[in-house]
Amino acid sequence: MYTLFLIVFVDLVGFGLIIPLLPFYAEHFQASPAMVGLLMATYSLAQFIAAPLWGRFSDRLGRRPILLVSLAGATLAYTLLASAGTLAVLFLARALGGFMAGNIAAAFAYVADVTTPADRAKGMGLIGAAFGLGFIFGPAIGGMLAGADPLTADYTSPSLAAAALSATAFVMTVFLLPESLPPHARRRKRHDGDRAPGFLTLLARRPILHLLAIAFLATFVFAGMETTFAMWSRRHIGWGPEQNGYLFAFVGAISALIQGGLVGRLARRVGEARLIVTGAALLAVGMLLIPLTQSVTMLVLTMTLVATGFAFLTPSLNSLLSLQASPGMQGQAMGIGRSATTLARVVGPIGAGGLFFAFGKDWPFFAGAALMSGVVVLAWTTILRSAPPRHADGAPSLNTDTPPPPGNPLP
């Protein structure tokens, strides 16, 4: 588990290097806010197409081969990004990077392979902490490499650094990471996969659909914030890549602290369902407050709410989703969950960029607050009210080997 944590961390540092810079990179090629949204969505659209395939392949071939292929592809995509001389090449690099982002679904499936149901949220939180730590160091390093002035920013160095980090994660996977899925399990999955499309079995269950809907809406809002925040901060308080990098690093620090050390303990005490409702409420309040802030201190406090809310949501949703799938379908379950969130990362940036362009810089955040208020109601009525009782050891009373018939409430 800790080897996987280190590999995901190194890879996500590279990913984090790029995220705060992309809006400025696109505007460097005279892209409008709506076009910036399309650029951010391109990565997620390619990931949406590829994620179920990577999840299914990881069930058949093992987690390690998928991690190796996707990390090699990410290295190539970042190298292309570094050499982008036009907006079209920038779009191509992001599309390739998104298609090769299969390491995330494989990493979550790896966690499901090596954890018990009682410790599943803790394991998902550990990988979530790797995400958070990646977003501590990545944006800060990327911002320093790019510089504070958008007009003279260096976009080549952060891209090459991201390529080097993905290559490092590839080497670590080769030499340090054992396979989590034994050969007999892979053979069985290949045989089972020939008989029935497993993803249809999963999607036929109402509890899974509820979890996917909540994950989609929360990620839709958060992705819209990521896309428009740099443009908003440039217009609202005159920030450039460096300042945005530091703030996103702070958001990553909050996420890492919560997912790495707090979510597992809270889930065992109060359950994932309550964490989902609480996280949605915090994210709603944070989104509402962003356009109302008038000082850096208030903005930091507001982003703390946003980071805490999303950090509660992500591992809790992944944990409940994995517990709803049988042991033989963990890869597909994680792939489907990843597809829902990556689809949200397709339409979220497009919607937020469109609102920014059509109605002004504050409207993506007001709309996000309204959507998250709806998520609170949805989570309360579908997940929390039907949450399962928990055993003394903190494990939920779920039977993942024999799922209930479609349409039953969350067991």
pLDDT recorded at residue 404? 39
Q: Express as a percent the part of the chain with pLDDT over 90.
A: 37
Quick check: 354 pLDDT over 50?
yes
pLDDT recorded at residue 198? 57
Residue located via tokens 């979550």 = 108
Split at pLDDT 50, 70, 90, the class of 14 is confident
pLDDT recorded at residue 46? 86
HSE-CB of 365 using CA atoms within 13 angstroms: 22
pLDDT (mean) for 264-268: 84
pLDDT recorded at residue 203? 65
pLDDT recorded at residue 164? 93
Split at pLDDT 50, 70, 90, the class of 386 is low
Looking at per-residue pLDDT, the higher value among 344 and 150 belongs to 344
Listed in sequence order, the residues at least 6 apart from 184 whose beta carbon sits closer than 8 Å to its beta carbon are none
pLDDT (mean) for 282-301: 95
pLDDT recorded at residue 351? 94
| Sign of the alpha-carbon torsion through 139, 144, 146, 148 | positive
pLDDT recorded at residue 319? 84
What's the rounded Cα separation, in Å, for the pair 202 and 99? Answer: 23
Quick check: 320 pLDDT over 50?
yes
pLDDT recorded at residue 177? 87
pLDDT (mean) for 395-406: 42
Hey, how many other C-beta atoms are within 10 angstroms of the C-beta on 30?
8
Quick check: 242 pLDDT over 80?
yes
Looking at per-residue pLDDT, the higher value among 364 and 7 belongs to 364
**Coil, strand or helix: which one is 349?**
helix
pLDDT recorded at residue 174? 92
pLDDT recorded at residue 396? 52
R_g over Cα of the chain: 20
- Tell me the per-residue pLDDT of 105-135, one tens digit each, with 9 for 90 and over: 778 778 888 888 777 777 877 887 787 777 7
Q: Are 241 and 366 in contact (CB under 8 A)?
A: no
Query: Structure tokens of 173?
Result: 């996977």
Distance of CA 34 to the CA centre of its chain: 22
Query: Structure tokens of 155?
Result: 């976009």
Distance of CA 190 to the CA centre of its chain: 28
Query: Structure tokens of 213?
Result: 């809907």
Burial of residue 256 (number of CB atoms within 10 Å: 0-12, 13-18, 19+): buried
In the chain, the amino acid numbered 253 is A
Nearest alpha-carbon partner for 141 in 6, 259, 241, 7: 241
What's the rounded Cα separation, in Å, for the pair 4 and 127? Answer: 8
Average pLDDT, the chain: 83
Listed in sequence order, the residues at least 6 apart from 13 whose beta carbon sits closer than 8 Å to its beta carbon are 133, 134, 137, 138, 141, 165
pLDDT (mean) for 57-63: 84
pLDDT recorded at residue 189? 52
Q: Express as a percent the part of the chain with pLDDT over 70.
A: 85
Per-residue CA distances from 110 to 4, 196, 323 (Å): 8, 23, 14
Quick check: 408 pLDDT over 60?
no
> Bridge-partner residues for 390, per DSSP?
396
Split at pLDDT 50, 70, 90, the class of 406 is very low
Quick check: 10 pLDDT over 70?
yes
Distance of CA 120 to the CA centre of its chain: 17
Query: Structure tokens of 172?
Result: 């670590």
- The fold for domain 2-384 equals Growth Hormone; Chain: A; (1.20.1250)
Quick check: 184 pLDDT over 70?
no
Burial of residue 72 (number of CB atoms within 10 Å: 0-12, 13-18, 19+): middle
pLDDT recorded at residue 371? 96
In the chain, the amino acid numbered 110 is Y
Residue located via tokens 């339409």 = 347
Per-residue CA distances from 340 to 23, 49, 203 (Å): 24, 11, 11
Nearest alpha-carbon partner for 8 in 140, 115, 168: 168
Q: Kindly give the residue spans of alpha helices, DSSP state H, lying in 329-404.
A: 330-359, 363-379
Quick check: 104 pLDDT over 60?
yes
In the chain, the amino acid numbered 319 is S
Listed in sequence order, the residues at least 6 apart from 183 whose beta carbon sits closer than 8 Å to its beta carbon are none
Q: Please give the model's pTM, rounded to 2 decimal places.
A: 0.69
Q: Kindly give the residue spans of alpha helices, DSSP state H, lying in 120-262.
A: 120-146, 156-176, 183-195, 198-203, 206-237, 241-257
Looking at per-residue pLDDT, the higher value among 185 and 313 belongs to 313
Split at pLDDT 50, 70, 90, the class of 218 is very high
